[in-house]
Amino acid sequence: MEFDFLVRGAWHRIRLEKKDDRYVLSQGGKVFEVDVRVISPHELSLLLGGKSYTVFIAEDRERKYVSLGGETFIVERGAEEGRRGERGEEKLEKGKPVVKAPMPGKVIKVCVAENEAVRKNQTLAIVEAMKMENELKSPVEGVVKKIFVGPGDLVDAEKPLLELEAHPSAHL
């Protein structure tokens, strides 16, 4: 099976095949063997390269949201090429980056204020989903132009949370 997944605004394609009691994962010329144990319908235990990982999974329409090591990824089966640029945590709207909720959840904290200068990878907000807190970070150096949510707000997947204005020298 092939899957498309979104990491920090960039799409990647992986191939997953079952081989005996393990899975073989291929991505960009790299091949990994993964031992997978189902803990519950929304929680897996992975053994990869001698390290153990716990993975949490939630679904929303045609997408799955995978939380691994405190980072959340959007996973889709066979995303259409034309839709790839329209999805994700950060999307350009009228030339301004918009930070979006990675999955349905609750806004725990907004860490910045409007008109505040931010640096790339600075935490902007924290959204709780599947009992995990996800830090949403700035994709660029710039200024917070608009905040659309507040603590306690429930948000849907890909709901705009903040709009940024990139510093003129920042590369989107």
Last residue of a domain, one of 61, 82, 103: 82
Last residue of a domain, one of 24, 48, 82: 82
- Segment 45-51 shows an average pLDDT of 87
Q: Is the pLDDT of residue 150 over 60?
A: yes
Q: Is the pLDDT of residue 148 over 80?
A: yes
Last residue of a domain, one of 42, 67, 82: 82
pTM of the model: 0.49
Q: Which residues of 58-87 are buried (b: 16+ CB within 10 A; e: fewer)?
A: beeeebbbbbeeeebbbbbeebeeeeeeeb
Helical ranges in the chain per DSSP H: none
pLDDT tens digits, one per residue of 73-103: 777 655 443 333 333 333 334 557 888 887 8
Placement of tokens 């959840």 in the chain: 105
Is residue 130 in some structural domain?
Answer: yes
pLDDT given for residue 63 in this prediction: 73
Is residue 105 in some structural domain?
Answer: yes
Is residue 56 in some structural domain?
Answer: yes
Q: Is the pLDDT of residue 32 over 80?
A: yes
Please tell me whether residues 62 and 102 are part of one structural domain.
no
Domains in the chain: how many in total?
2
Q: Whole-angstrom Cα distance, residue 66 to residue 60?
A: 11
Residue 82 backbone phi and psi in degrees, to 5: -65, -20
pLDDT given for residue 78 in this prediction: 52
Average pLDDT of the chain is 79
* In contact, 125 and 144? CB cutoff 8 Å: no
pLDDT given for residue 92 in this prediction: 39
